[in-house]
Amino acid sequence: MSDKVMIVTGGSRGIGAATAKLAAVRGYVVCVNYLSNRTAADGVVEEITAAGGRALAVAADVSQEPDVMELFATVDGRLGRLSALVNNAGILERQSRVDEIDGDRLQRVLAANVVGPFLCCREAVRRMSTRHGGRGGAIVNVSSAAARLGSPGEYVDYAASKGAVDTLTIGLSREVAAEGVRVNGVRPGYIHTDIHASGGEPGRVERLRTSLPMQRGGQPHEVAQAILWLLSAEASYVTGSFIDAAGGK
Ligand code: NAP
């Protein structure tokens, strides 16, 4: 069993997949969690394995408590003692104004983007914290520049969910700072992934790129680098902090 064991929620595609692959290069055994796209998750695992790493794909809906319990129990049994968690899974829905959003959508977005990270943080702390007999660890919550900008006319519900993720990061980081657990956040800007298609505009990053100081969207691996740094020993005195990986916006 390795002493570097990581769960990446939503590790099958986009930023999560880039994070899982980079983590394997850095010596982590990686649990690639996914919701339903088994082919994509298996593809990430195969790529890691082909490069000499070790990974396991595990399906779980992070918004559902029984799924989260099973996900962490599977990692306990198959991979070993958890040392790192990346709360990356997240969703957004069709671009809308607040006066068009119905209650079911609010429940879905907040369940996936807020309840999910809370449940996963809880399970991680139960395993990592010295208060619970653990050996410490690190958590990175993937938020969004939307938490600062609010996403008017697109998805204020999503932006608000990321505001909650930032508050979770600050509060939990202080709660467990003396227990060997660091908790930080990364706020990506416009990154080339599938998520923009869920909003109804697959070409959104290209449309908006000239509004960015760097004049280009980001690549998933550029966010993964920030996540891996925050999890590493190089960030040993960093907790409750955020890296904005947003091209200057
Ligand atoms: P993506 O390409 O749409 O991938 C989403 C991933 O999350 C997939 O692996 C998906 O699994 C998984 N997922 C979705 N709901 C889940 C659930 N309930 N339980 C478990 N897994 C679930 O997304 P992305 O753009 O890489 O985004 C990753 C994170 O970065 C999100 O938190 C997002 O809000 C944040 N972010 C992205 C951007 C951007 O521009 N892309 C900007 C700021 C922040 P399946 O493959 O099985 O569907």
User: What residue segments make up the domains of the chain, in order of their start?
Assistant: 5-245
- Written as six digits, the tokens of 172 are 């939990």
- Count Cβ atoms below 10 Å from residue 214 Cβ, excluding itself: 12
Question: 79-114 as b/e, with b when 16 or more CB fall inside 10 Å?
Answer: bebbbbbbbbbbbbbebbeeeebeeeeeeebbbbbb
Q: What's the rounded mean pLDDT across residues 88-103?
A: 98
The residues lining ligand 1, judged by C-beta closer than 6 Å to any ligand atom, are 9-10, 12-16, 33-37, 40, 61-63, 88-91, 112, 116, 142, 144, 188, 190-191, 193-195
From 28, 158, 190, 237, the catalytic residue: 158
CA distance 88 to 165: 11
Angle between helices 65-78 and 116-128 (to 10 degrees): 40
For ligand 1, atom 39, name the residue with the nearest CA: 191
How does residue 105 score in pLDDT terms, banded at 50, 70 and 90? very high
Residue 164 neighbours by CB under 8 Å, 6+ apart: 110, 113, 114
Residue range 24-58, pLDDT digits in tens: 999 999 999 999 999 999 999 999 999 999 999 99
CA of 100 to the centre of ligand 1 (A): 23
pTM over 0.85: yes
Q: What's the rounded mean pLDDT across residues 217-229?
A: 98
CA-87 nearest atom, ligand 1: 32
157: pLDDT strictly greater than 80: yes
Say what the pLDDT of residue 2 is: 80
CA distance 230 to 226: 6
What would the CATH number be for the domain defined by 5-245? 3.40.50.720
Work out whether the CA dihedral 101, 168, 21, 206 comes out positive or negative: positive
Sheet of strand 242-245: strand arrangement: 55-59, 29-34, 5-8, 84-87, 137-142, 181-188, 242-245
Say what the pLDDT of residue 112 is: 98
Say what the pLDDT of residue 154 is: 97
Say what the pLDDT of residue 56 is: 98
For ligand 1, atom 26, name the residue with the nearest CA: 14
Q: What's the rounded mean pLDDT across residues 195-206?
A: 97
Q: What's the rounded mean pLDDT across residues 190-194?
A: 98
233: pLDDT strictly greater than 80: yes
CA of 178 to the centre of ligand 1 (A): 31
How does residue 3 score in pLDDT terms, banded at 50, 70 and 90? confident
- The answer to whether residues 228 and 26 touch, using CB atoms and an 8 Å cutoff, is yes
Angle between helices 14-25 and 38-50 (to 10 degrees): 20
CA distance 207 to 205: 5
Residue range 107-145, pLDDT digits in tens: 999 999 999 999 999 999 999 999 999 999 999 999 999
Say what the pLDDT of residue 1 is: 66
**158 noted as active-site residue:** yes
